[in-house]
Amino acid sequence: MLTSILRNFRLTDVEIIVDAAINNLLLTGSCLLVLNNMRYYLPRQEKYWYVLTISIGLSGICVLIAKGVLWLIFKDDANYTQSLTQSTGIRFGILFLLIGCMSMMSLLWYTQEEQQIINERKIDSERLSREAELFKLRQQLQPHFLFNSLNSISALTGSQPEKARHMIQQLSDFLRGTLKKDDQQWSTLEEEIEYLRLYLDIEKVRFGHRLQTEIIYTDEVLLLKLPSLLLQPVVENAIKFGLYDTTGEVLIKLEATKENNYLKIMVRNPFDPETSQPLKGTGFGLSSIQRRLFLLFARQDLLRTEKNESFFITTILIPQLI
């Protein structure tokens, strides 16, 4: 652009080439300076004033340096020195536009890069927070069950020491499985059912013939994935509402099926509306599961509870991501 303008001043080719080379060299240096400056210092406030200031400043410096160098080279050429003076405003305007464009591009580029880094840090922070909350929820599921089991063992020690010894062994196997699963985010339904049977064996020692269970599933669902340690608190909730306020035999039924791309788990337990209040609140067990499902899938509709005649039914849907 500057070269075309200089031709109007009837300069020689040598003068035009030297003039253009010096100006382009100064322009390149200014752009590199802007780029490097934006990399290490990104203005936070009044950034557009910063761009305007730096563009005016660098353009003025470049014009002064170019005029000084070119005057020293062609000081004996009256026509050139005259054109150098007359083209000062044009030179400044062209440099201002080019440096200003480079400054804006650098500002937008590094602002976007910084925002991307901030977003990545935010995602990592949210992920770590979510994992910490999931871990905390999983750790809170066991204490009351453990206390109840220890109380039962204590009660059996005097009257039925053999049964107490057997229950200790079962509790040991159950807790060992819990520790192994602490590092697992996901399990297969087959693994969860095996773990659930350990839990039910312990509960059957506590409640004897009063606790009856039925687990229904087909081979096709055994390899489907679900969050680790998910079934036990659901069944524990069913036992709490179905067995604690009764003296007779109670059947807790769990059924696992596949519907579309979901693993569907239904747990049904009887309840007495006069003594139980399962609809008043889902309790810590179910509320923690609902929270876990939300943290994992960002959905609130994966856990449902309903009352059907004299039964309380908990339904969980687990999306199969793979």
* The predicted structure's pLDDT at residue 304: 92
Cα–Cα distance, 103 to 298 (Å, whole number): 41
Q: How crowded is the C-beta side of 253, counted as CA atoms within 13 Å? A: 11
pLDDT greater than 90 at residue 314? yes
63 against 322, higher pLDDT:
63
* Secondary structure class of 154 (helix, strand, coil): helix
pLDDT greater than 70 at residue 308? yes
* Secondary structure class of 37 (helix, strand, coil): helix
Nearest one of 193, 189, 180, 246 to 223, comparing CA atoms: 189
Cα–Cα distance, 224 to 170 (Å, whole number): 26
Helices and strands per DSSP (H, E), number in the chain: 10, 7
Beta-carbon contacts of 80 under 8 Å, excluding residues fewer than 6 positions away, are 11, 15, 70, 74
* The predicted structure's pLDDT at residue 176: 77
Q: Taking the domain 140-319, which CATH number applies?
A: 3.30.565.10
Q: Where are the domains of the chain?
A: 2-127, 140-319
249 against 15, higher pLDDT:
249
pLDDT greater than 80 at residue 181? no
- pLDDT tens digits along 126-142: 776 766 666 666 666 56
60-64, 160-164, 314-318: segment of lowest average pLDDT: 160-164
H helix or E strand, kind and range, residue 67: helix 47-73
Q: 3-class secondary structure for 242-295?
A: HHCCCCCCEEEEEEEEEECCEEEEEEEEECCCCCCCCCCCCHHHHHHHHHHHHH
**What number is the average pLDDT over the span 314-320?**
92
Torsion (CA) 64, 67, 71, 72 in degrees, nearest 10: 50
- pLDDT tens digits along 225-244: 998 888 888 888 888 888 76
Tokens of 296: 């994992």
196 against 175, higher pLDDT:
196
